[in-house]
Homo-oligomer: A and B are copies of this chain.
Amino acid sequence: MRRCKFCGSEAYVQLRSPRLAMCEEHYKEYVERKVERTIHRYKMFRKENKILVAVSGGKDAIAVALTLHALGYEFECLHINLGIREYSEYSEKIVRQQCEKLGVPLHVLYLRALVGRGVGELKTRREVCSYCGTTKRYLMNKFAWDNDYDVIATGHNLDDESAFLLGNVLHWNTGYLARQGPYLPGGNALVARAKPLYELTNYEIAKYVALFDMNLTTEPCPHAKGAKSILYAKVLNEIEEVSPGTKLNFVKGFLKNRELFQEEPVELRACRVCGMPTLREVCSFCRMWGVKEELKLQVEHLQDSEQHDEN
């Protein structure tokens, strides 16, 4: 039986990089300290900031909420109901349970109420996962901007980020590389985005969340496909198996060299419909969903409309 390195009691988890066995108590502390260090290292936010945590119902988003809560940060949560029928109803139910249990305020945006349709019901050549990503990023940012949040924290973890990085390196998408990282500063109607789980793996996060009595969404999205990112994550795990620490060193080495990929700043203008930054006359969100008038996402507005926040 493995013993906790800190107290000698029975180990709950055994990490390979760093090589470390820990009991439940010390593992919880370890993860929370690691998140705290990540927040400081990348200057993500401070206690006095107005923080919005994007929650999906999955283990990563709730891990952000759980660790920030344990570390004494105040924050509110945002969930976007994407209108994917039962799947979205189910996800929203789980998120409501999670936030209630944690005692943190939750705001819910209903895509169907805002634009009349849900994800999967759009006629476009873009893949569903691609325009769903654009939609979520837009709504998250618009909500945070309209309600004066300083930063949006998301559940992106080391597996996501290293897989994304590998895909961008294999294709030498140098533009994407320049904009990738644990913290993307805000400005020009873009609210800063932070990834407090940037240095934690799927495994580490799952073991952390399992310490809490929290329901998680376990259903996969009906639109999810065998994405390339799953393949990249898989091969990185194979390499990690032989060389523990590869994923973390890969993203850290990238961050040290990120300035190599810096490009000329582009000229953004305000979308004619919603005023948010875009390269074109109308931003991709308003264009693809056929939005004709700015969506007002101020909490006061939302509470008067049918997409009210029940929390």
- Interface size (A, Cβ < 8 Å)? 23
Q: Does A266 count as interface, using CB distance less than 8 angstroms?
A: no
- One of B169, B232, B256 near A169 (C-beta < 8 A): B169
Map CB proximity to B onto A227-269 as digits: 1 under 8 Å, 0 otherwise.
Answer: 0100110110011001100100110011011001100000000
Most buried by B among A170, A253, A254: A170
Q: Does A172 count as interface, using CB distance less than 8 angstroms?
A: yes
- One of B172, B235, B246, B256 near A238 (C-beta < 8 A): B235
Give complex CA distance A234, B234 in Å.
12
Chain B: minimal CB distance from A235 (Å): 4
Q: Are A243's CB and B257's CB within 8 A?
A: no
Q: How many copies does the complex hold?
A: 2
Q: Which residues of B contact A123 (CB under 8 A)?
A: none
Q: Does A307 count as interface, using CB distance less than 8 angstroms?
A: no
Give complex CA distance A145, B51 in Å.
65
Chain B: minimal CB distance from A17 (Å): 14
Q: Are B228's CB and A232's CB within 8 A?
A: no
Q: Which residues of B contact A169 (CB under 8 A)?
A: 169
Would you list which residues of chain A between 202 and 236 have a CB under 8 Å from chain B?
228, 231-232, 234-235
Q: Does A278 count as interface, using CB distance less than 8 angstroms?
A: no
Chain B: minimal CB distance from A168 (Å): 10
Give complex CA distance A131, B170 in Å.
30
- One of B231, B249, B257, B261 near A242 (C-beta < 8 A): B231
Q: Does A171 count as interface, using CB distance less than 8 angstroms?
A: yes
Q: Are B172's CB and A257's CB within 8 A?
A: yes
Q: Does A174 count as interface, using CB distance less than 8 angstroms?
A: yes
Q: Which residues of B contact A246 (CB under 8 A)?
A: 170
Q: Which residues of B contact A239 (CB under 8 A)?
A: 170, 231-232, 235
Chain B: minimal CB distance from A201 (Å): 16
Give complex CA distance A250, B223 in Å.
29
Map CB proximity to B onto A161-172 as digits: 1 under 8 Å, 0 otherwise.
Answer: 000000001111
> Known contacts A228-B242, A242-B231: does B174 contact A250 (CB below 8 Å)?
no
Q: Are A260's CB and B171's CB within 8 A?
A: no
Quick one: closest B residue to A173, CB to CB? B253
Give complex CA distance A232, B246 in Å.
12
Q: Which residues of B contact A238 (CB under 8 A)?
A: 231, 234-235
- One of B232, B235, B260 near A174 (C-beta < 8 A): B260
Chain B: minimal CB distance from A87 (Å): 26
Q: Are A171's CB and B253's CB within 8 A?
A: yes
Q: Are A228's CB and B243's CB within 8 A?
A: yes
Q: Which residues of B contact A170 (CB under 8 A)?
A: 239, 246, 249-250, 253
Show 7 residue pairs from A and B whose CB-CB distance is below 8 angstroms, ordered by the A residue: A169-B169, A170-B239, A172-B250, A228-B243, A234-B238, A235-B235, A235-B238
Chain A interfacial positions (CB closer than 8 Å to B):
169-172, 174, 228, 231-232, 234-235, 238-239, 242-243, 246, 249-250, 253-254, 256-257, 260-261
Q: Which 3 A-B pairs have the closest CB atoms?
A: A172-B253, A235-B235, A260-B260
